[in-house]
Amino acid sequence: MFAKILIANRGEIACRVIRTARRMGVRTVAVYSDADAGALHVEMADEAVHIGPSPVGESYLRGDKIVAAALATGAEAIHPGYGFLSENPDFVDQVTAAGLVFIGPSAASIRAMGLKDAAKRLMEKAGVPVVPGYHGEAQEIVLLASKAREIGYPVLIKARAGGGGKGMRRVEHPDDFSEALSGARREAKAAFGDDRVLVEKYVDKPRHIEVQVFGDSFGNVVHLYERDCSAQRRHQKVIEEAPAPGMTPPLRKAMTEAAVKAAKAIDYSGAGTIEFIVDASQGLKADRFWFMEMNTRLQVEHPVTEMVTGTDLVEWQLRVASGEKLPKTQSEIALSGHAFEARIYAEDAAKGFLPATGTLHHLKFPDTAPEGASMRIETGVRTGDAISPFYDPIIAKLVVHGKNRQAALEALGISLSQTEIAGSTVNTAFLAALAADADFSAGDVDTGLIGRHQQALTAVPPPSSEIVAAAALAASGAGAQAPTRDPWSSLAGYAHFHAMARRTRLRYGEDDILALVSMRPDGRFQVALDAPYDSALDLRAAPRLARWPGHVTVFSGAVGYSFAVPDPLARADEIAAGADSLRAPMPGLVKLVHAAKGETVIKGQPLLILEAMKMEHTISATHDGTIADIATEGAQVTDGTVLVRFAEEAHG
């Protein structure tokens, strides 16, 4: 076994690897960028090495710096985690050329599966079913459009390199093919440095079911059953589960055998995942699944497999990479119970799941698992950490296990309702709504479920009078007390003839709220609210809330209602915003500009494309008007930057 390893990653996966390594007595070396100097994975590791500025291209994608850090610290092996360099065969070559061990598959195996088109041709030769489509080398638009017509619409354009939903477009009609292809190519080039694509038949009711495989250097390959990852938004997973709901014995047998066959075809060693698309339009059948791709690394959702099989896949990785055989044979791996993983992201579900940034002023996960269940939290952040625009905005993975699917689903809902995060917009309310969705609860899930139910899943009810009153009470002492003091005692004091009272203002979205807070002689608090609430409430006990600079967040179930507390001494700037300008919803790069200064545009017309976190977001006109000014291509902008300004006559 290794004495010391370097982890070429950050965040929750780096922390995850460190925990297993520590349990096994293996020392760890972390690497970090400028943005991660104070990160949790740096604190947890035995040693840490700075590798460059915050952008990934200058730090976490610099294989030379990572190898140099491993050599300088005496590490014997490098664990890549997932993302970044984990599936880069050139990096594997760098590692092995330096006399180090790469904790993962060989460069040859990664190359064999690294490009979707070549991988599918290889799988066809190995007898693994492949989804109908064009997987060739030629990339001329006329040819691709012709192949799409042959396949039959709807089709799916997919980047041949990478994954995570980037460089992917569904096309319903031939007239939309050219524009969709251009967008997919731009996004693929930005994310993977490769703009080549493949075109496949879009399955009407697709299920995304994948099989965890594991091989060693002695030719042994086993599977650890399947995971269902069909709950996706923007082609990216949000809730995964194991085993797949509704799985039939014939399909499981066919799918796991195909997965093992695929791994053996490339002499695979280490952790890997074979992803299949399954046509669920007529139930799960053994002849209705096709190979999509292989991820030659550990998956983000690997904890659900660990929970239902009682394994530690990171431990397996370390053992196999150090030259040991697989810890278990196929007959020794059994399924037990059901597990869910919910990915908690800093994102605004109501705004199309736009990534968000911010400081996590309050971060609290459930202390214990619900009765009859087990739970684990995988995170790389703690209270006070910032969600940076440089990296994936994941905050944590909440993983639960129960004796069956219903028990695990109930545990997931309870655990989400007890999670408290303030300081950034997060998706906990959306995740809880998805867990409670009737179709999802019944196991009737496919990759289009979230899209069909998106409006209902992302709708958040307005705060009740009780929630607003609680926020007003907490805010009423904000100017006179230290952040750590009890906000519920801030009004305590002596009043001879009448209750002490304090007027406070709040802002929730676009609403200004005026409240009068008073303390009654019996110790209760009374909060009188103006319109639209027009109510007076007596409060006895503190609800779940968090106070942070200029804000109060009140938690109700999985929803966090955040109220701004205006500084009465500050002059509000009410003029700059409004309908006369469009602002950047997040930090990013102005990728393309479709309009010019002085041009007359109509409502809904695309004006520019903002690239943020390797995804493209179209900024469209909110009304008819004339453009007075517009951002330039290539401009880096921050959250709230004015991208488009309209001439005043647009609202005359």
Active-site annotation, residues: 297
Q: Taking a C-beta distance cutoff of 8 angstroms, is the pair 617, 353 a contact?
A: no
Describe the chain by its helix, strand, coil percentages, rounded to 5. 30, 30, 40
Q: Write out the H or E segment, with its range, that includes residue 637.
A: strand 636-637
101/24 Cα distance (integer angstroms): 18
535: exposed, middle or buried (Cβ count in 10 Å: 0-12, 13-18, 19+): middle
Pairing of strands 606-612, 588-593: antiparallel
For tokens 């997931």, name the residue. 412
Q: Taking a C-beta distance cutoff of 8 angstroms, is the pair 29, 52 a contact?
A: no
488/476 Cα distance (integer angstroms): 9
163/48 Cα distance (integer angstroms): 29
Q: Taking a C-beta distance cutoff of 8 angstroms, is the pair 204, 269 a contact?
A: no
Cα 625 to Cα 353, 576, 602, 603, 640: the distances in Å are 28, 18, 6, 8, 21
230: exposed, middle or buried (Cβ count in 10 Å: 0-12, 13-18, 19+): buried
Half-sphere exposure of 481 (CA within 13 A, CB side): 17
Half-sphere exposure of 182 (CA within 13 A, CB side): 6
**SS3 per-residue string spanning 87-153:** CCHHHHHHHHHCCCEECCCCHHHHHHHHEHHHHHHHHHHHCCCECCEECCCCCCHHHHHHHHHHHCC
Q: Taking a C-beta distance cutoff of 8 angstroms, is the pair 517, 527 a contact?
A: yes
CB atoms closer than 10 angstroms to residue 47: 17
Q: Which of 294, 271, 311, 313 is nearest to 105 (CA)?
A: 271
For tokens 């007359």, name the residue. 600
Residues in the chain: 652
237/302 Cα distance (integer angstroms): 13
**What amino acid occupies position 565?**
V
Radius of gyration (C-alpha) of the chain in whole angstroms: 27
